[in-house]
Amino acid sequence: MRPTFSTPILFAASALAAYSVVDDYSPNNFASKFDFFTGSDPTNGYVNYVDYNTASSHGLYSVSNNQVYMGVDHNNTASGRGRDSVRISSKNSYQHGLIVLDLAHMPASACGTWPAFWLLSTSATWPNGGEVDIIEGVNTQNYNTMAVHTNAGCSISSNGSMTGKIVTDNCDVSAPGQATNQGCAIKTGNTNSYGDGFNAVGGGAYATEWTSSGISIWFFPRSAIPADLASGTPNPSAWGLPMARFAGACDWDEKVVNQQIVFDITFCGYWAGNAFSTDATCSLKASTCQAFVQSNPSAFAESFWSINSLKVYQNNGPAQPSTTSISSTPTSTFSSTTIATTTTSIPASTMTASTSTATTLLTSSTSVTLPGTTSIATTSSTYIIQTTTTSIVTTTVSTSSPPATIPATTAPTQPPSSTSILTSYPNTFSTVTVSNSWSAWSSQPPDDTNTGNWSPGGSWGPGSRGRPPRRRRDMS
């Protein structure tokens, strides 16, 4: 919210905030940020998902040369529930942001396989809450298929906004005229985007941007990864058309919520199993998908993920200062600079209400109180917030020097009192974000308070975790 003043105020437009990392799934802490799923496969696959200890001791999970390896058993005849494999789900869930995955290798285009890198809602039973498939394919497929699965009331259109081709446009898993659980799907003709073709070019990076207006997925082969992405300062606006763009008649903030990150490699099941007999190569290898997967372990030596990095970015980086011009009299005009815009992320489990205060800063001796902080200590033209709680994640703001001459009578002696900005929070969100701006100027001090706004739809932080709902569809 902008403050109310008794004098005219002109705000200059500020630069857009930049993406900043909120979760870095580095190889050394990768396993600790995920849960290893050990239940029966929700997609009816011929697979035995194992825990971390089993995966580590049997060579299905390891970290070497700063890369994460996740694969399947390729030494033994399968039995019981099926071939040993790994399925992991991130402990954190997210609402909006940019997810960047750099892979040196993905599971090969092998008969019977169904690997996927995808997002799944933790807040509702599937398909409520949505699912986003970023990398997915089956059997000898040599191109990537991307999809979104929701309940009724969500569809997409192209309008030349992507390089991929829409296969189905209704994201509803029960949409008439589409295969059950298919959702809205987009495929690419780029044979370097998946499986054997991806591995042949040394891998590459997938970047998925999710906003209130839709979901975009870019793929960059190793030799064409943008410099800004490689340097950790991603700028999607400079990347050109995405491979897939999910946008159209859909309320994305309602249909896709609280998504966790999932990797898995399953076998057969509803998609790979049903498509096995129609695959020209696979159908000649065995009578059924399960028979082939059970008895041919060596066929899956290349069925593994090799992860260079996985990072989640949030679009709430520090904004560039904006200029304020205030005229107190027809002959007296001063200029000053917005100190900063701070972002406060507060876990919903610890927050039931919040207060926010703000005041004008005219001299280096002026102090101001912010939520969860002591007074600001000033050094020259830099203001440092000393936090007293763990709620405030942005702790430093700065301002330019005030005008050289300021009438002493205009300087405020104390900040205005706190004002309650919310008495309760929407408990459907896992985090709450509060943004406020504080400005310095050289006119008569205001008597009001600049209060913040709850922005749950734009929050991006840890959420609750639950058992993954059933994930079924036939993309054939």
Given the residues 131, 209, 254, 302, select the one marked as catalytic.
Answer: 131
Beta bridge partners of 113: 267
CA distance 359 to 5: 12
Residues written for the chain: 476
For 433, counting Cβ atoms within 10 Å of its Cβ (0-12 exposed, 13-18 middle, 19+ buried), the class is buried
Beta bridge partners, 169, equal none
Output the DSSP codes for 238-276. GS-S-SEEE-SS--HHHHS-SEEEEEEEEESIIIIIHHH
What 221-229 contacts at long range (C-beta under 8 Å, 24+ apart), as own/partner pairs, is 221/192, 225/102, 229/100, 229/205
Radius of gyration of the chain (CA): 26
Taking the CB of residue 411, how many other CB atoms lie within 10 A of it? 16
Amino acid in position 7: T
Query: Is residue 209 annotated as part of the catalytic site, yes or no?
Result: no
**The one-letter amino acid at 472:** R
Catalytic residue among 136, 209, 254, 302: 136
Task: Give me the amino acid identity at 428.
Answer: T
Annotated active-site residue 136? The verdict is yes
Which position has the token pair 């209060």?
Answer: 451
CA 345 – CA 389 distance, rounded (Å): 12
Burial class (CB in 10 A: 0-12, 13-18, 19+), 231: exposed
User: Do 269 and 44 form a contact (C-beta atoms < 8 A)?
Assistant: yes
Q: What gap in Å lies between CA 348 and CA 359, rounded to an integer?
A: 27
Composition of the chain by helix, strand, coil, percent to 5: 15, 35, 50
First-to-last C-alpha distance (Å) of the chain = 50
CA distance linking residue 91 with residue 199, whole number of Å: 28
Residue type, 129: G
66: left (phi over 0), alpha (psi -120 to 50) or beta: left
CA triplet 315, 398, 351: central angle to 5 degrees? 55
**Contact criterion met (CB below 8 Å) for 355 and 420:** yes
Cα distance between residue 146 and residue 166, in whole Å: 10
β pairing state of 204-211 and 244-246: unpaired
Sign of CA dihedral 35, 476, 48, 299: negative
Catalytic residues: 131, 136
